[in-house]
Amino acid sequence: MADNRAFFKVDVGYFMNPKVATVLAESPTAVLLHLEATAYCAQHLTDGVAPLALIMRVVGATQDDAERLFKRGLLIDRHDGDVEVHDYLEHQRSAAEAKKLSEAGKKGAAGRWNKTGSDSPSDANGNADRMRTPMAREREEREIDSAPRRRSKRRLPSDWRPNDKHREQAAAKGLDVTSEAARLRNWAEANDARYADWDSMFRNWLDRARPTEAPARPSNWDRLPTAAELRARREAGEA
């Protein structure tokens, strides 16, 4: 019976990678955290973004473990509760590619059912994954992985600005789109981040952002002296 579980790629030299080896010597749990982050992204098709608190809880990691990965560049702190697996899309299948693969498998199975005289396309779609052997799935994955990407990743352009949809999205969440755009630029420059579609990246950024609450006034705010009163007191003291 075909194995329909999701998988992600791990290089056979993963533990000998200098960054990984350094972290492993400091804390094996930190390496587990990196692997769990990658597994989460592959399972939920998030294109490399994972909730830090959840994946830490799964493997029993600490904030120190996360900081080790940030320091070595294996994870990128998005400062919104999520982390990004460095170069995830360079090595793992994107959500779009996974969807394309799934649809290709269903269409192929439907065609085979029709050739054998089946009168029920819906049955063919329902049994698509069972019809595909592990070898067939591996061949389809290689074809997708070897296909050239439609758009290359790049740094955030110096002339990039939020568009009208960004402003509407920010307004709906009570966010200052100018401040959020500045935060994105600072984060992108600090982490040398690269994306094929920065407009889409900023939509995701806004989706995860939280409004900043205004600081509460002191309880004695109404009793504090005004600027004029302070000036009068100072002049009286000098007299």
Question: What spatial distance separates the first Cα and last Cα of the chain, rounded to whole Å?
Answer: 96
Q: Tell me what pLDDT residue 54 has.
A: 94
Q: Which of 99, 95, 100, 125 minimizes the C-alpha distance to 110?
A: 125
CA nearest neighbour of 105 among 136, 149, 145, 135: 136
Rounded average pLDDT over 50-78: 94
Cβ count within 10 A of residue 14: 14
Q: How far apart are CA 170 and CA 202, in angstroms?
A: 10
Alpha carbons 158 and 93: distance in angstroms, whole number: 29
7/145 Cα distance (integer angstroms): 14
Query: By the 8 A CB rule, do 32 and 59 touch?
Result: yes
> 10 Å Cβ neighbour count for 25?
9
Question: 3-state DSSP call for residue 77?
Answer: strand
Residues in the chain: 239
- Whether residue 101 contacts residue 144, with contact meaning beta carbons closer than 8 Å, is answered with yes
Please state, in angstroms and rounded to a whole number, the distance separating the CA atoms of residues 235 and 231.
6
**Over 60: is that where the pLDDT of 228 sits?**
yes
pLDDT at 80 over 80: yes
What was the pLDDT predicted at 148?
A: 46
Residue 36 binned pLDDT confidence (cut-offs 50, 70, 90): very high
Q: Which helix (H) or strand (E) holds 76?
A: strand 75-77
Query: From CA 141, how far away is CA 37, in angstroms rounded?
Result: 22
pLDDT of residue 135: 57
pLDDT tens digits along 99-146: 887 777 676 666 666 665 554 555 545 555 555 555 566 666 655 555
Question: For the chain, what is the mean pLDDT?
Answer: 81
Task: Please tell me the predicted confidence (pLDDT) of residue 239.
Answer: 45
With bands split at pLDDT 50, 70 and 90, how would you rate the model's confidence at 85?
very high
CA atoms of 123 and 103, how far apart (whole Å): 15
Tell me: the pLDDT tens digits for 139-170? Answer: 666 555 554 445 688 899 999 999 999 999 99
C-alpha 60/C-alpha 75 separation (Å) is 17
Provide the pLDDT confidence category of residue 218 given band limits of 50, 70 and 90.
low
Q: How far apart are CA 79 and CA 219, in angstroms?
A: 31
More confident residue, 210 or 65: 65
- pLDDT-derived band at 24 (thresholds 50, 70, 90) equals very high
Mean pLDDT of 65-75: 95
Does the structure show a pLDDT above 90 at 192? no
**Tokens coding 5:** 């579980």
Percentage of the chain modeled with pLDDT above 70: 72
Q: Give the integer Cα–Cα distance in Å for 48 and 89.
A: 7
pLDDT of residue 211: 79
